[in-house]
Structure 1
């Protein structure tokens, strides 16, 4: 497995040689963030028109090239970012990600209902930090609750796309810039992400050749 990183016109590019299903292929992953344009510790305290303008520039003035999928990571809730994105570009589908506790589920429900109102298909829900397994005794504990997201999905008439465990490897590999799906592709955590990705792709239109 090989990883090369470099900057291209404010767009971060990761090139991975990935081993999967006994085959090797190159995975190109471009990313863009306001965090690349400001000091690391500087906050972005924008609202309204400033947020809409920034979203417009990130979507339309970045040279994305030919993409199979464009994934937009948005904050929870129903704020300016969600509305700006849904009004600026056609969206094939939204995925709602939430931890199982009640306070998080309130935002998840609002997000799902908002996307429905602006006619964006909700592909399903993902339950994050679903279970913690003790690395010593292997006992499993549902720290944030067991089935909160599943119950919400049922009440909304939506599917559960999968569960992501609360695991130290996920945190450590993300902090090091080598996601668990790349650095530990055979781990249970990586397989959880892969299953979710496959469920999402299965529900999306086939990208043009």
Structure 2
């Protein structure tokens, strides 16, 4: 049976998160928004990973995955051993953004070796299904697939694992918060008021499950015309900074709306890699350096927070 057919999980309600498919999820059983099992310790899922950082957003369309990829490449450029876990089961985009294709190599009976490019180890459901496959899965199946991509992947020794979460506060966020001792979470937003409402919800969700908030990033913060240099604040400006101040969390930095960031992401050649001397790459490097410091401090101090089970 092909990996594409195994991952579709539509005919019999069983989830197979990779080619040797051994996770099973009952499509009719359980509530997607509730945890059905006790949380596992992080050492069981990610034994060689020092810190795990969730990259999240309250709503879609704010450039969260682009931010996650460029932060990962910026960390790799600073000699950090970094991995990137694509937690979006329904719309995985990380394989294309990292110019990765094909299927991961199977090591032993049930362990996958992550794909890699630009110094980043990566795992995504997108490696296991065709790009246009519609993943019609219920919550428990999503949760089991995420656990498999942590437990059954040979991540090796990593300083940081970035987890690119889907937008919102659903099953993927709940799984990560309850199963993994997250070192911290980063919230990505655009400056307009409607996006910032969801920033507040996202921060509240992580606080409820005992995950430290590392801070907020304002993406598409402003636009500078490449022809005349005129600056336009298309989506407003400074809203994420003000929201972070109001909620008592750090503001990590702002990323402009720029054509080069979009085109390099679409082509699988992140701007931090292809234009390392650009001011946009410098913005990502500054934010990445701050996150490295926060993760190092958290792990070297009290250690990673243990997951707390919350019925949501």
User: Does the 8 Å contact 1:76/1:108 carry over to 2?
Assistant: no
Over aligned residue pairs, what C-alpha RMSD do you find?
A: 2.0
User: Does the 8 Å contact 2:168/2:202 carry over to 1?
Assistant: yes
- Farther-moved stretch of structure 1 (120-129 vs 46-55): 46-55
Secondary structure in 1 aligned to 2:296? Answer: coil
Task: Provide the aligned length of Structure 1 versus Structure 2.
Answer: 194
Secondary structure in 2 aligned to 1:150? Answer: helix
User: Does the 8 Å contact 1:76/1:107 carry over to 2?
Assistant: no
Alignment map for 1:163-174 (pairs within 5 Å): 163-174=254-265
Query: Measured at CA, do residues 77 and 5 of structure 1 come closer, stay the same or move farther in structure 2, by a change above 3 Å?
Result: closer
Deviation at 1:205, TM superposition (A): 2.5
User: Does the 8 Å contact 2:101/2:127 carry over to 1?
Assistant: no
Partner of 1:111: 202
Deviation at 1:70, TM superposition (A): 0.5
Length-normalised TM-score, structure 2? 0.59
Partner of 2:280: 189
**Structure 1: unaligned runs, 5 residues or longer:** 17-27
Runs (4+) of structure 1 moved beyond 3 Å?
4-8
CA distance in 1, matches of 2:232, 2:100: 37
CA distance in 2, matches of 1:87, 1:145: 35
Alignment map for 1:81-100 (pairs within 5 Å): 81-100=172-191
Summarize deviations over 1:93-152 as a string: whole Å, max 9, x none: 000001111221122111111111111000000000001110111111111111111111
If asked which structure has higher relative contact order (CA below 8 Å, sep 6+), I would say: 2
Give the number of the structure whose residues are more often strand, by fraction. Answer: 1
CA distance in 1, matches of 2:150, 2:197: 28
CA distance in 2, matches of 1:146, 1:65: 41
Alignment map for 1:60-71 (pairs within 5 Å): 60-71=151-162
Partner of 1:24: none
CA distance in 1, matches of 2:258, 2:227: 13
Length-normalised TM-score, structure 1? 0.87
